[in-house]
Structure 1
């Protein structure tokens, strides 16, 4: 019997590698796994729906739900999770000595709708007295000029936002003091180069992120896996098949990470750091599914709506294919 052929565009992750190497195969499916940078995958999927299955920014996916016939349906598979306090940078002379000082400042961001930035704007508002509309935003390319929003946005008038000049980059503007701060998923080049004019807003990132988790229980979700709507409508069974395979691949990655015979990654204290993460975040700290992630998703959806990116407040249950959130009981 022939199997369904699907192309899956995704990053090069330990938690999905078993699918890329075909040591785990989804029931009834042959996958062509394309290892692509996330920005390329997101742009090509949002603009052209090039792949049958893809990793996608959680924010971009929720933005896509505005369409009358939304082009994707998601699985509760979170290929990227990350605390983002370390994603806030400032110019050394901008008068920013704490996160609270961002109020009234000019903050750059490659795109307003980036998931990492949605999270940080929400966290700044909830915990640091910096409402999202107390800041002026500028958008554009971080390292290369000309970046645009991958999805059209219809933002409320309370959002003060404009594009930087076409010949400039956010990283250079931050280093020169033309903007006060930058919120970005990728480390800006001046910081990488050790430029003393650029530093992080949260000076002790790990302590800040641990304090945030201790207070909220939230390990922020960045990316989901989506199936193109036309594929799902023709073959609804692929949602459960892919979800089961992705879950198995994650469990295999957990086991590989705890193999102490030889380190798989170039981190000298990988094993004790893993044990510390499990003790602090729980054994299944990178959990999939709705159970255990409902509050995290609900918080993100609230931020997304408050910041003008979604027209209504979505519920976590509405985001995912029901075939991937329900299973048979034996």
Structure 2
């Protein structure tokens, strides 16, 4: 029986390099790896379903689960994780000296449904007392005009979301003071530490304290399979999951290599040692159970922010075959 050909849209992270170069091959699958930046991958998969499998915004995936056709099925592989306290920017003249000052302000974000802003809004609410419906949210392109929500939204009326003008960009509006703050996944081009500053200048220490307090390393992306592809070949969910995990295992091994620097940072090995010491040997876990508390927190945020009409369950997120693992 020939292997099943599948296309995978994903960025070229270190944890997927072995899938890209063929050192790891999912059993029974001929995988064509399409290396693209995340915005392109998400847009093409969510709008046009162009790939069999793809990296996907976790928030947009959850929005898709509220649609009648539920077009995708995810596996518990998380290509992107990111502490996001560093990703809150403010205009220096907006009078924002602490998170509490965000209430009543105009808060930009490229898309209301983006995973990074969902985490940021939830963290600000849980840990700093900023109600998720306190600011006015202003959406549109960060560096180029006319960015749209990838999946149409129907938000409750207590959330104030406005679109920027057809020639405006959020990065420039922040520098000009036309928005007071900005939460995003990418550092805006207008960030200079003077006119545009971070809300948390000492974000590394703030994020380490958040990890110590919560044990949460925020998940940004999942891996999703088109539902019709999955339903016709349900075995691919576990085979892909195992392949992604093997590719990640090889990356962990590479991080521990000390004969030469695996990354280009001068103190790369020191960063690696600190991370293992602080967060443990499997600091970027795949699978459901090691991530249940993190996922459940995000599902609560997603519902509280009007993006899902009811709180979804962790088990509903993933292919049933991947919820439990067999032991030999």
TM-score scaled by length of structure 2: 0.99
Alpha-carbon distance in 2 for matches of 1:124, 1:181: 13
How far off its partner does 1:124 sit? 0.4
Displacement of 1:44 after TM fit?
Answer: 0.4
1:143 maps to 143
Look up the match of 2:283: 285
Write the deviation string for residues 86-143 of structure 1: whole angstroms up to 9, x where unpaired.
1100000100111221111100000000000000000000111101101001000000
SS of the equivalent of 2:77 reads strand
Superposed, which structure 2 residues align to 1:112-127 within 5 Å? 112-127=112-127
1:220-254 CA distance string (max 9 Å, x none): 00000011100000000000100000000000001
2:246 aligned residue: 248
- Distance in 1 (CA, whole Å) between partners of 2:146 and 2:322 is 38
Give the whole-Å Cα distance in 2 for the aligned partners of 1:207 and 1:100: 19
2:256 counterpart residue number: 258
2:220 paired residue number: 222
**Secondary structure at the counterpart of residue 326 of structure 1:** coil
Which one of 194, 197, 200 corresponds to residue 199 of structure 1? 197
Unpaired segments ≥5 residues, structure 2 = none
User: Does structure 2 conserve the Cα–Cα contact (< 8 Å) formed by 1:146 and 1:167?
Assistant: yes
Who is 1:131 aligned against? 131
Matching of residue 10 in structure 1 with residue 10 in structure 2: yes
Secondary structure at the aligned position of 1:68 is classed as: coil
Within a 5 Å distance, the mapping from 1:20-59 to structure 2 comes to 20-59=20-59
Query: How far does residue 317 in structure 1 lie from its aligned partner after superposition?
Result: 1.1
CA distance in 1, matches of 2:127, 2:164: 29
In 2, are the aligned partners of 1:95 and 1:101 still within 8 Å (CA)?
yes
1:75 aligns to 2:75 (yes or no): yes
CA-to-aligned-CA distance 1:34-89 (integer Å, 9 cap, x gap): 00000000000100110000000000100000112201000000000000001100
- Post-superposition CA distance 1:266-315 (Å, at most 9, x none): 11111111111111111100000012210000000000000000011111
1:196 CA drift (Å): 2.0
Structure 2 SS opposite 1:292? helix
What CA distance in whole angstroms lies between the structure 2 residues aligned with 1:213 and 1:174? 29
Cross-structure match for 1:315:
313
Instruction: Please state if 1:329 is matched with 2:301.
Output: no
Give me the CA root mean square deviation.
0.9
Give the one of 282, 296, 318 matched to 1:298.
296
**Counterparts of 2:274 and 2:327, CA distance in 1:** 34
Matched positions, count:
328
CA distance in 1, matches of 2:190, 2:260: 35
Secondary structure of the residue aligned to 2:78 is: strand
Q: 1:111 matched to which residue of 2? A: 111
8 Å contact 1:99–1:202 — kept in the other structure?
no
How does the TM-score come out when normalised to structure 1? 0.98
Question: Which of 178-187 and 315-324 deviates more?
Answer: 315-324
Counterpart Cα distance in 1 of 2:108 and 2:99: 15
Residues in 2 aligned to 1:138 and 1:328: alpha-carbon distance in whole angstroms: 47
Secondary structure at the residue paired with 2:76?
strand
